[in-house]
Structure 1
Amino acid sequence: MYFAIVAIDRPGVAELRAATRPAHREYLKAPPHGVTYRLGGPLMAPDGTSAIGSLLVVEAADLATAERFSANDPYSKADIFAEVAIRPWDWGTGNPDKR
Structure 2
Amino acid sequence: MHFYIRCVDKPGHLHVRKANRDAHLAYIKDGFADKIVAAGPTLDPDLEGMNGSVFIIEFDTQADAEKFAANDPYGKAGLFESVIVRPFKKVF
Q: TM-score range by the shorter chain?
A: over 0.9
Q: In percent, how many aligned pairs have the same letter?
A: 38
Aligned residue number for residue 97 of structure 1: none
Alignment partners' CA distance in 2, 1:47 and 1:6: 20
More helix per residue: 2
Q: Which runs of 4+ in 1 moved over 6 A?
A: none
Contact 1:31 1:37 in 2 (8 A): no
**1:66 and 1:45 mapped to 2: Cα distance?**
26
Q: Which consecutive unaligned segments of at least 5 residues does structure 1 have?
A: 94-99
Output one character per residue of 1:42-71: Cα deviation in whole Å (capped at 9) or x when no partner.
Answer: 011111111010001110001000000000
Aligned residues: 91
Q: Radius of gyration: which is bigger?
A: 1
Q: Determine the structure 2 residue equivalent to 1:5.
A: 5
Structure 2 stretches lacking a partner, 5+ long: none
What are the residue-to-residue correspondences of 1:55-70 with 2, within 5 Å?
55-70=54-69
Offset from partner CA, 1:21-59 (integer Å, 9 cap, x none)? 000000001226xx8233200011111111010001110
| Counterpart position of 1:80 | 79
CA distance in 1, matches of 2:62, 2:82: 17
CA RMSD of aligned residues (A): 1.3
Q: Secondary structure at the match of 1:30?
A: helix
